[in-house]
Amino acid sequence: MIRETKITDTTLRDGHQSLLATRMKIEHMLPIAEKLDSVGFHSLEVWGGATFDTCMRFLNEDPWERLRTLRKAMPNTKLQMLLRGQNLLGYRHYADDVVTEFVKACVRNGIDILRIFDALNDVRNMELAIKVTKEAGGHAQAAISYTIGPVFNDGYYLDLAKKLVELGADSLCIKDMAGLLSPAAAYRLVKKIKAKLDIPIQIHCHYTSGMAAMTYLKAIEAGADIIDTAMSPLALGTSQPATETMVATLNETDFPTGIKLEDLNGFASYFKDVRAQYKEFDLSKGIVDANVLQYQVPGGMISNFMSQLSQQNALDRLPEVLDEVPRVRADLGYPPLVTPSSQIVGAQAVLNVLAGERYKLVSKEVKNYLRGYYGQPPGKVNEEVRKKIIGDEEPITCRPADLLEPELPKANREIGSYVQKEEDLLSYAMFPQVAKKFLEDRYAGNTLVDFDILKTAHGSYYPFP
Ligand code: CO
């Protein structure tokens, strides 16, 4: 039986986030936008994740303007984004009023599909974003953060999938940020979920360990509906498998893509040239990182360790840090290593090694984590460690955002005079320092990327060569 496989191209989000430190500018997206829009992809992942922060912090681009511009340039294909549940696109929990208004604004400005995840797989941190997405008319894709460890058997994932479907998820994503999902495990897991739940399944793998293209093929054989890929110059390494490779492969199976290989001509040369313009941010350290298989940490974490340790003149302690990561992770109840838990675990592992005594120095984030402010970890926290760090303080057990007062009124008092549109207030509520500088600069007349000038300069938004 022939069953079509759908493709989400991630070049304009995860592709450059994974390989070029999220630095791709709108001016390198627009010339190719019309052509991307004409391929017939299931969706294009173009926004969310780290792109929002980077736009304001480094690129002098209004992230909302980027979204509206991309929407206009690509009217025919669904646009997709990545959202960290109650953390939105930031690194802490935001109050419900911020989450509600932010999600509504995403849909209003052009996002069709929101992929929503939580670093601890605590569904209470995802439920509001799922609910508001649906109310606003968007497609709520709930993501399972995939990892391996003592608590993560198929039963764990199946339970999680059921809960997400009960919350109203329109589709599920198995999100493998570290490249740990093996072909055999993917086959088994997709089979089991499909046997129990009638819902589309999308697979999101990073190539880091070298398994991802094989994993996709096995997941599709087991019934997966959609895969994430990036155009070859921004694929592989810590990014996704290549779009061209998967289309060529799948079109010879019973799970063809509906996309002709020749329709992908031209993208490789275009993005090869684009990538060459971001050499200083090019993080790639080769195609396969065998450390990932051994240490089971995302590739990005290892490069973070290297830069943190070299600042302390302690690069020689990298092996100790890599050994410490799984111990910290076990103490914290096995959080999947994805933003922000990967940073929390990683920074603490470095502290434990450099301080010469475990948990002698403890980050604020680890304290808050042990107080329950990030939600319920998948496994049991090491109570001795908890006691050493927060003493007799009783951790919270409620949904963390239940303790947060509305945040928009305060944001409005603080930044109201610089706000030109409702979305500016949301930018500020998420990233106060970065957005304040950005909005003040704009107010002072400092040049932002001018989307209208881009349009004139190119004659149109999309003069594909
Ligand atoms: Co990703």
Helices marked H in 316-374: 318-331, 341-354, 364-370
Q: Ligand 1 centroid to 252 CA: how many Å?
A: 27
Instruction: Decide if pLDDT at 459 tops 60.
Output: no
* Residues whose Cβ atom is located within 5 A of ion ligand 1: 14
Q: Ligand 1 centroid to 406 CA: how many Å?
A: 30
For residues 325 and 328, give the distance between their C-alpha atoms in angstroms, rounded to a whole number: 5
Q: Ligand 1 centroid to 15 CA: how many Å?
A: 8
Q: Ligand 1 centroid to 31 CA: how many Å?
A: 24
Q: Ligand 1 centroid to 106 CA: how many Å?
A: 19
Cis amide bond preceding 63, omega within 30? no
Q: Ligand 1 centroid to 107 CA: how many Å?
A: 21
What's the confidence (pLDDT) of residue 444? Answer: 85
Q: Ligand 1 centroid to 177 CA: how many Å?
A: 5
Question: Tell me, what amino acid is at 264?
Answer: L
Q: How confident is the model at residue 454 (pLDDT cuts 50, 70, 90)?
A: low
Q: Ligand 1 centroid to 412 CA: how many Å?
A: 33
Per-residue DSSP letter, 44 = E
pTM over the 0.75 mark: yes
Bridge partners (DSSP) listed for residue 8: 43, 228
What's the confidence (pLDDT) of residue 202? Answer: 98
Nearest to 455 by CA among 16, 27, 139, 104: 27
Per-residue DSSP letter, 74 = -
* pLDDT tens for each residue of 70-114: 999 999 999 999 999 999 999 889 999 999 999 999 999 999 999
Q: Ligand 1 centroid to 237 CA: how many Å?
A: 12
In 53-185, which ranges are E strands?
Answer: 78-83, 113-116, 139-145, 171-176
Burial class (CB in 10 A: 0-12, 13-18, 19+), 238: buried
As a whole number of Å, the CA-based R_g of the chain is 22
Q: Ligand 1 centroid to 66 CA: how many Å?
A: 20
* pLDDT tens for each residue of 284-313: 778 898 888 877 787 678 778 888 898 889
Helices marked H in 25-153: 26-38, 51-54, 63-73, 96-108, 127-135
What's the confidence (pLDDT) of residue 321? Answer: 94
